[in-house]
Structures are given as structure tokens and as C-alpha cells.
Structure 1
Amino acid sequence: MTGRPLELSVEGLRYETDGRTLLDGIALTARPGETVGVVGPNGSGKTTLLRCVYGALRPTAGRVLLDGADASALGVRERARRVAVVPQDAGGTFGLTVGEVVSMGRSPHKRFWEQDGPDDRRRVARALETVGVSALAGRRFDGLSGGERQRALVARALVQEPGLLALDEPTNHLDIRYQLEVLGLVRRLPVTGLLVLHDLNLAACFCDRLYVLADGRVVAEGPPREVLTQELLAEVYGVATRIAVHPATGAPSIVYLPEQPAGPVPETGLG
């Protein structure tokens, strides 16, 4: 259901717009078959980085390499055969059924206006089954719940047969069961994964390595157990935490501490 896992290298990536620098000298690697997470507070540049990787934005400076080849030199269709995207929101799907949206992932493998063949339909059916939305194939995509839409977008990415799967907040709108299923699926697929995540405990559990962004720069990189420290989370997120090793997974387990009042507790007048 996927192609051969690719190696991703991001070298000196810089992105500027409207006089602002959103990314400043980003260096990142993902080895074939790795699942790499990008974390950081809102506005740190995570989605901008992902969009530069899959080609929605053109960097001001620096390069994105796929198996050593400059991605900017690839045509749109060739790049789409190598990199599939699960965005936060899906545009251009109004009035389409779930099956039609998922089948759009076959476009890079077909000639312009070519209809789906039996092999395409088999791949779409298998992807729908893999993410648990086979029963929704005939439903309108824009009538689905947020979680159902997210799983359908994962299925669309799978039928694209990528070597690199880029996911922007793939657990948005998903309940706990499907958060675990979707991230577990990414881990099991023979594909290189690049995930933007807000949930640090999920990132610690499912990612081989993490890159922590702040103000458009990488401030930490490495395995979750080395990166997710109380000191770093206090510096980057401004929160107090306690971190232990989860007894079942061996991954860091983060507990967020409530903010302490900065003075005596005021009288409430309640007895």
C-alpha cells in the first residue's frame, strides 16, 4: 500500500513571508522507515516546515532532499508519487463521496482524466478497510464527523503509495481509540513518517525521534527520552511538568502540573 521508504533531508531551510521569518536554518533528517515527530508551541513553524517538505510552500533558502534528490527539481506528479500528505483540513471535496475523495490519491499514478481501473478500486477498498471507514464509502465527505474525515484522509494518502507520509496533526478530532489506531498504523507501514503533533505523550510513544521547534528554529532533537525533559518543556512551553518512564511502553510519560498562584489565595466568602 506504500512505496519504498524514502530518506528525507532538510538542509538550512529558511522561509520568509510579509517581512517575517517563519523558519530559520532548519536542519532535519528522517531515515528510511523512521517515524519522526515535529513538536513545539503554536506559531513555532511546525506546519510551515511540513508544507515546505511536501511542496505547498517554496523555501526562501535551503533544500529538501528525497533520497538525495532535490525535491524542488521534481515535477508535481513525481513528487506526489513520493510524498503523501494528511493535512489538518481538506479543501476541494465539496459534494464528493468518501470513496471519491480516497480515490483522488490514485491521481499521481494515472494519466490526465484516466478513469480508475480494477486495480485502483481494489487499492481504494483496501485503504478504506485499513482505516475502518469502508461503511462510509458512499457517504458525502462533507457530512462526516471530524474523526471520520481524518481517517478518510489517511486512506487517501495510503492509496497514493508514498515513500514519505507527512501528517499535520493527524489525531485532530479523533477519540482516543482512533488516535492510537492511526498512529499505530503509521508505525506499522513500510514508509517514512513525518508527523506534526501537539500531544507530547503521543509523540513520545509513537515517534523514534523528535524535533522541537521554537520561533522557527530547532532547539532540541533526538529520541523522546533525551528530548522531553522538565527543563526543556519549561523553557519552550512555559509549563511545569513531572516526567517518568511509562512502565508499559518505556516512553517518557509527562504529567502537567497546575500553575501555582503567585500569592496568598484570596478569600472567596464561601464557608
Structure 2
Amino acid sequence: MTTRPRTTELRTEALSYGTRLYDADLTARPGETVGLVGPNGSGKTTLLRCVYGTLTPTSGRVLLDGDDLAALGPKARARRIATVPQDGSTEFELTVHELVALGRSPHKRFWEGDTAADRARAEDALARVGIAELADRPYPTLSGGERQRALVARALVQDPALLVLDEPTNHLDIRYQLEVLRLVRDLGTINLLALHDLNLAAAYCDRLYVLERGRVVAEGPPAEVLTPGLLAAVYGVEAEVIPHPRTGTPTVLYVPGPPVERDTSAM
């Protein structure tokens, strides 16, 4: 079995990408689930892509346990970072089990096939995300929510130190939104994810970074970040924020009505 490198933290330093992201500083520690929130076009996906390497930052660095990820080759990076993209491609001409088993590829030489242990890992991951019965189905025939869960399962068998997820609850019904986010939290990895749903972000993230127009404008625990003033300033909406009656996490209640004028002094 591959031993996961000891990871002390993920850190981005003054990370920029063209006009989409400016000087983003971010930190995530072992076992911590960190959420990126903000309006459409605020830079969340750009930041994630710079972290997992599909975009090369214009400036700044991404450090994992002090190692500059720009200096690592694709396979070395894949041994440490697993990604779940926003929309699962249907171009994979594989069964669901075969797709999930690909998560072991970074830990093998190119000529090595799947072992019994690899197959067992894939079966366990499929069961954990609730689609074990779809193992022999062609991946392109799955629904959007089923594809999303298959990609989460592939990330699980990759055994990453850092798990990066872009809108992992896309296409999922409420039950699986909650189950996937709970599963991610329980992995013990560093988790960095972008979410649109602020109530899910408040319930499952230890800390939030709020992005607007490519800049980080707020950071901290959800109860400190999700304030009526910030929601008005960043999203242009009127809202109340109250503790959830059972969990105590902040719950955003939106007030129907026209958009409110943004006041950046509230941030």
C-alpha cells in the first residue's frame, strides 16, 4: 500500500491568474475542510484550477507541506492531490468500476494492472458513495448526480493528502448532497471545495474564504464570515443569519425582494 506523504498544510501565496484572480492567500490544515464561496465569476474555480495544476498561475505559489507544486510532475502531483471537477465528462468509454479504479494509477508503474486490493478499494469507494449497484454500467450512461458520485469515489481510491472539489453537490438530490459532504469531512484529508449553497458551506466547512471579482474579501469560521452586511456587499441580497435550531451553525434566510445596493465598507 502506498504511504500518503505527511502533510502539514496547503498554502497559496499571492496567487494570481490574469484578470480572474488577484493575490490570493489561502491556508488549509490537515483534516480541515475549507470552503470557497462567492458569486458566479468571483474566481472560485480559477483558484481551484491553479491549486490542482490545470492552470499555471501568472504569479504566486501553491505549497503543499512546503513543496512548491509547480516543481512536481503530473504523476507526483496526482499522488498527493485528487480532484472532483464541477461536471463529470461523459467521454470516458469505461464502466463505472473501471473509472473508479483509475484512481490508483498515480501509485503504479504504467504497465501494472489492477490487483485484488485495487479492486477491493474501488468496490468499497462505490459503496461509500452509494452507487455499488452501478459498477458495471458504462459511465456515459449515468445521470449527472451518479457521475458526480463516481468521480468522488475515484478520488477516494486515489488516497490523496489534499482533496479539491468544485461544486461537488452539483446534480445531487438533498440526501446525497449531505452524504457526500459528510463523507468528505470524515476522510481526514485537507479538503478545499467551492460551494454555491451558503448553508451547506456553513454546515460542513471549518473555515470559509469569500471571493469577489477575483479577490479574497473575507476569511474565517462561517459564523464570523456569513453576516448580513457581507451578504449585501458581496451578493447584493438582503438576508438574515440565525443559528440552526439543532446544530447551531449559521443559517442564511434570504429576504425576497429587489437586489440591494452593494456597500463594500461592510466587508
TM bracket (short chain): over 0.9
Check conservation: 2:38, 2:212, Cα contact below 8 A: yes
CA offset at residue 95 of structure 1? Answer: 2.3
Aligned to 1:200, which of 192, 198, 201? 198
Q: Residues 191 and 184 of structure 1: is their aligned pair in 2 closer, same or farther, counting only changes over 3 Å? A: same
Check conservation: 2:236, 2:259, Cα contact below 8 A: no
1:183 matches 2:188: no
Q: Residues 121 and 31 of structure 1: is their aligned pair in 2 closer, same or farther, counting only changes over 3 Å? A: same
CA distance in structure 1 between the partners assigned to 2:91 and 2:9 by the alignment = 31
Aligned to 1:12, which of 11, 14, 17? 14
In the other structure, the counterpart of 1:215 is: 213
Aligned to 1:149, which of 136, 140, 147? 147
CA offset at residue 7 of structure 1? Answer: 1.1
CA distance in structure 2 between the partners assigned to 1:124 and 1:159 by the alignment = 6
Query: Mapping of 1:5-154 within 5 angstroms?
Result: 6-16=8-18, 21-91=19-89, 93-154=91-152
CA displacement, residues 87-120 of structure 1 (integer Å, 9 cap, x when unaligned): 0123374321101111111110111132111111
Check conservation: 2:90, 2:140, Cα contact below 8 A: no
| One-letter amino acid of the structure 2 residue matched with residue 140 of structure 1 | P
Check conservation: 2:241, 2:253, Cα contact below 8 A: yes
CA distance in structure 1 between the partners assigned to 2:24 and 2:105 by the alignment = 31
| Matched position secondary structure for 1:242 | strand
Q: Residues 6 and 145 of structure 1: is their aligned pair in 2 closer, same or farther, counting only changes over 3 Å? A: farther
| One-letter amino acid of the structure 2 residue matched with residue 225 of structure 1 | A
CA offset at residue 260 of structure 1? Answer: 4.7
CA displacement, residues 43-71 of structure 1 (integer Å, 9 cap, x when unaligned): 00000000000011000000000001101
1:236 matches 2:234: yes
Check conservation: 1:40, 1:213, Cα contact below 8 A: yes
| One-letter amino acid of the structure 1 residue matched with residue 89 of structure 2 | G
Structure 1 runs (4+) greater than 3 angstroms displaced: 1-6, 91-94
TM-score by length of 2: 0.93
CA distance in structure 1 between the partners assigned to 2:95 and 2:11 by the alignment = 36
Rg comparison, structure with higher value: 1
Return 210-219 or 142-151, whichever deviates more. 142-151
CA distance in structure 1 between the partners assigned to 2:8 and 2:110 by the alignment = 26
CA distance in structure 1 between the partners assigned to 2:131 and 2:73 by the alignment = 32
Return 250-259 or 84-93, whichever deviates more. 84-93
Aligned residues: percent identity?
67
CA distance in structure 1 between the partners assigned to 2:162 and 2:23 by the alignment = 22
Check conservation: 2:33, 2:205, Cα contact below 8 A: yes
| One-letter amino acid of the structure 1 residue matched with residue 108 of structure 2 | K
Check conservation: 2:7, 2:64, Cα contact below 8 A: no
In the other structure, the counterpart of 1:266 is: none
CA displacement, residues 111-141 of structure 1 (integer Å, 9 cap, x when unaligned): 1132111111111111111111111000011
Return 56-65 or 108-117, whichever deviates more. 108-117
CA distance in structure 2 between the partners assigned to 1:6 and 1:152 by the alignment = 28
In the other structure, the counterpart of 2:264 is: none
CA distance in structure 1 between the partners assigned to 2:251 and 2:137 by the alignment = 39
1:166 matches 2:164: yes
CA distance in structure 1 between the partners assigned to 2:173 and 2:87 by the alignment = 17
In structure 1, runs of 5+ residues without a counterpart are: 263-271
Check conservation: 1:32, 1:192, Cα contact below 8 A: yes
| Matched position secondary structure for 1:32 | coil
